[in-house]
Amino acid sequence: MRIARFTSGGSDPRFGVVEGAPGEEEILVVTGDPLFTPLNPTGERVPLVDARLLAPVIPRSKVLGIGRNYAAHAAELGNEVPDEPLVFTVPNTSVAGPGDPLVIPAWAGEELHYEGELAIVIRRICKDVPEERVEEVVYGYTIANDITARALQQSDKQWWRAKGADGFTPLGPWIETELDPSDVRIETRRVTGDDVEVVQDGRTSLMIHDVPSIVAHVSSAMTLLPGDVIMTGTPAGVGPVRPGQRVEVEVEGIGVLSTPFTAPE
């Protein structure tokens, strides 16, 4: 089931279930937030083409990332593979929606990088979750682009602005509640005009730490809350973006998350 958060015709943000064949999708509007209330369709349907998709979840608590979770990505940046998941936090103010333009900050320099990732959405309060019960606390999965100011990641040491600046965590286009995350393809494309370049092409089966081990590890130290998001790491092939380019991250079984990049005025 695909759960979207959207607005249409100037409405306040609403939630709905995306149904239909590609090119003919409709959003079946539901009441409330499905993370916190039962799924209750109103009967209203909105054509997907008439809706503006928003970030499918705005974490009330936190967004977590997992660094160096693909061996080839760790190697391309000259890093060792960590024994345990390398966890970092970014604020919920970094979250952006699908299609939201990102103005490249002047302080990011020439090395603002894309990082296409699978992201986990937590469904309920949980702590010390054993790996065999992780499915019980996962609501579904979405796509993340863990945008990183690479030079500042090195110079700042703490990644508060290198990964946590406003708009640096696009999520979307919706939450897929029925995905098996063990072996899905992640493809990232850098688009310049009519030129489409595939820059990342990996599979989640190559993750060093899989979804159950990530959630178990994180929840051993901190309580997870409904709507928390955990990004699971990026495959090899990260690289810079420039104003005027667009980055598309496609995750098999979910869809495509697109982010255009612009220059500051």
Instruction: Tell me the per-residue pLDDT of 223-249, one tens digit each, with 9 for 90 and over.
Output: 999 999 999 999 999 999 999 999 999
- The tens digit of pLDDT for each residue in 93-127 reads 999 999 999 999 999 988 999 999 999 999 999 99
The pLDDT assigned to 124 comes to 97
Where along the chain do its domains lie?
A: 2-53, 63-262
Residue 194 has pLDDT above 90, yes or no: yes
Long-range (24+ apart) CB contacts under 8 A made by 97-100 are 97/53, 97/54, 97/55, 97/170, 97/171, 97/172, 98/53, 98/54, 98/55, 98/170, 98/171, 98/172, 98/173, 98/257, 98/258, 98/259, 99/52, 99/53, 99/258, 99/259, 99/260, 100/167, 100/170, 100/259
Percent of the chain with pLDDT over 70: 100
Average pLDDT, rounded, for the chain:
96
Tokens describing residue 87: 């966890």
Tens digit of pLDDT for each residue in 124-180? 999 999 999 999 999 999 999 999 999 999 899 899 999 999 999 999 999 999 999
Return d(Cα 200, Cα 218) in angstroms, integer.
26
Pick the more confident residue, 236 or 10.
Answer: 236
User: Does residue 265 have a pLDDT over 90?
Assistant: no
Provide Rg for the chain, Cα atoms. 18
Per-residue confidence band for 54, with pLDDT thresholds at 50, 70 and 90: very high
Q: Judge if pTM exceeds 0.95.
A: yes
Check residue 109 and give its pLDDT.
Answer: 86
CATH code reported for the domain at 63-262: 3.90.850.10
Beta bridge partners of 116: 145
CATH number of 2-53: 2.30.30
pLDDT at 3 over 90: yes
Mean of pLDDT values over 184-198: 98
Beta carbons of 142 and 172 less than 8 angstroms apart: yes
The amino acid occupying position 161 is R
- Inform me whether the pLDDT recorded for 49 exceeds 90: yes
How far is it, in rounded angstroms, from Cα 30 to Cα 247? 30
State residue 179's pLDDT score: 98
Band of pLDDT at residue 88, cut at 50, 70 and 90: very high
